């Protein structure tokens, strides 16, 4: 058996440069106060110093907040439609957190199901994910209750574990193995490195202290669907700002709108949110005009309806909706307080 490899932290720049030959390399970056996965500038490797997790979810790189679907113009022969050119960048995302990689697997299911979504899937195709285990999870993280963990490597190609001056490499997928095989400047790992990584993983796991119990949550939610008192209580402080859905790595609702000037125009799609009353509003009626119905939809979609359709809860426990909510609405409190079936 070949021994595993490791990356010395001082070599990160060299290695990312190699990968940049083949891929568009995205790394955790800061724009003002907001962190997101963005194209590596080819030099700076200090981005690792403060990286706990990005504010923007990784979905934004595949399903942008706004994108053109097609453009059109009108001439004597009528309308001519021109689809937006496909995005053919091969992406490599460096230091993606396990929860965000798991979230992409959930989005993949939604966008592949039935009619395939060409915009998301063309960007997602051939993406390489280099996962980085968490050593400093937030108080709001609860991945260990959602089937994940700070070192979960299920949905990445290569998994890195921070062992001090180096990252220990685990090759997870075939694509990951190939990439490691052709990457220069890697070092051989020692037995002691592996033991150290094991210890780091165990310590990190215990640092995720927020826990929820999701056993039978779909059945419990079905039983309390009509329990207006409960939903009014848990939605009381929500201000319907939608930030929890925009920053959620698994939320994928969108809207479609046209814009035109004279004889040219385009159709766009943009993120939308079930938190907004206009989201479901029809000219004559709005099935979710009341706030408690919208909060119920958000919770039930993630913990009841998505599992019914895809066999998986649509939440990875990244905690963004908790730490970034302006009024401290807390999904874990809501789930923990769903009434038991009587």
Using CB under 8 A as the criterion, what x/- string covers residues 205-244 for binding other proteins?
-----------------x--xx------------------
Closest by CA position to 107, among listed 339, 315, 330, 328: 315
Residues 302-341 within binding reach of other proteins (CB under 8 A): 304-306, 308-309
CA separation for the pair 84, 69 (Å, rounded): 5
User: Which residue, chain included where needed, has tokens 């490691």?
Assistant: 180
Measured from the CB atom, is 117 or 330 closer to other proteins? 117
Taking CB under 8 A as the binding criterion, the range among 142-150, 192-200, 295-303, 318-326 that sits at the site for other proteins is 295-303
Q: Which x/- pattern, by CB under 8 A, does the window 106-125 give for other proteins?
A: ----xx-xxxxxxx------
User: SS3 of 304, please?
Assistant: helix
Which residue number, 267 or 323, has a Cβ lying nearer to other proteins?
A: 267
Shortest CB 239 distance to other proteins, Å: 20
Nearer to other proteins, 1 or 282 (CB): 282
**135, 255, 277, 312: which one contacts other proteins (CB under 8 A)?**
255
Number of H helices, E strands in the chain: 12, 12
Instruction: Read off the tokens for 95.
Output: 């230091």
Q: Which of residues 149-188 bind other proteins (CB under 8 A)?
A: none
Query: If we measure between CA atoms, which residue out of 243, 163, 146, 166 comes closest to residue 200?
Result: 163
Closest CB to other proteins among residues 17, 227: 227
Only one of the segments 34-42, 78-86, 197-205, 312-320 lies at the binding site for other proteins (rule: CB under 8 A); that segment is 78-86
Cβ atoms of residues 225 and 292 within 8 Å: no
User: Is 153 within 8 Å of 134 (Cβ atoms)?
Assistant: no
Nearer to other proteins, 47 or 306 (CB): 306
Evaluated on CA atoms 77, 83, 84, 87, the torsion sign reads negative
Pairing type for strands 78-83 and 66-75 reads antiparallel
Q: How far is the CB of 324 from other proteins (least distance, A)?
A: 21
Q: Kind and range of the H or E element at 235? A: helix 228-235
Q: Which residues of 253-273 are buried (b: 16+ CB within 10 A; e: fewer)?
A: bbeeeeeeeeeebbbbbebbb
d(CA 200, CA 218): 34
Q: What is the smallest separation between the CB atom of 175 and other proteins, expressed in angstroms?
A: 24
Kindly state whether residue 69 participates in binding other proteins, applying the rule CB under 8 A. yes
The one segment of 6-14, 21-29, 131-139, 300-308 that binds other proteins by CB under 8 A: 300-308
Site size toward other proteins, by CB under 8 A = 51
Residue ranges that bind other proteins, judged by CB under 8 A = 69-70, 72, 74, 78-79, 81, 83, 110-111, 113-119, 222, 225-226, 252-260, 265, 267, 272, 274, 279-285, 287-288, 293, 297, 300-301, 304-306, 308-309
């Amino acid at each position: 058996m070949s021994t595993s490899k490791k990356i010395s932290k001082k070599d990160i720049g060299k290695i990312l440069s190699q990968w940049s030959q083949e891929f568009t390399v995205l790394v955790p970056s800061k724009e003002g106060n907001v962190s997101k996965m963005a194209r590596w500038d080819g030099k700076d490797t200090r981005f690792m110093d403060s990286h706990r997790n990005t504010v923007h979810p990784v979905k934004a790189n595949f399903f942008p907040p706004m994108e053109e679907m097609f453009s059109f113009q009108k001439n004597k022969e009528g309308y001519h439609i021109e689809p937006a050119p496909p995005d053919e960048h091969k992406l490599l995302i460096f230091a993606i957190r396990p929860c965000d990689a798991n979230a992409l697997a959930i989005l993949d299911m939604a966008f592949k199901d039935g009619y395939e979504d060409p915009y998301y899937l063309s960007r997602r195709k051939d993406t390489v994910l280099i996962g980085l285990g968490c050593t400093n999870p937030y108080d709001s993280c609860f991945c260990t209750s959602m089937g994940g963990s700070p070192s979960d490597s299920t949905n990445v190609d290569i998994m890195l574990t921070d062992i001090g001056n180096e990252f220990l490499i685990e090759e997870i997928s075939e694509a990951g193995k190939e990439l490691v095989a052709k990457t220069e400047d890697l070092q051989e790992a020692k037995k002691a490195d592996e033991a150290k990584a094991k210890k780091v993983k165990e310590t990190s796991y215990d640092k995720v202290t927020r826990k929820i119990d999701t056993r039978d949550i779909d059945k419990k939610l079905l039983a309390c669907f009509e329990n207006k008192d409960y939903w009014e209580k848990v939605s009381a402080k929500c201000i319907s700002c939608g930030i929890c859905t925009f920053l959620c790595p698994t939320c994928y609702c969108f809207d479609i709108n046209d814009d035109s000037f004279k004889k040219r125009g385009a159709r766009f799609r943009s993120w939308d949110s079930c938190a907004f009353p206009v989201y479901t509003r029809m000219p004559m009626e709005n099935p979710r005009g009341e706030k408690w119905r919208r909060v119920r939809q958000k919770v039930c979609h993630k913990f009841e309806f998505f599992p019914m359709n895809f066999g998986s809860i649509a939440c990875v426990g990244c905690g963004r909706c908790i730490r970034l909510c302006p009024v401290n609405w807390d999904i874990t409190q809501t789930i923990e307080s769903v009434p038991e079936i009587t």
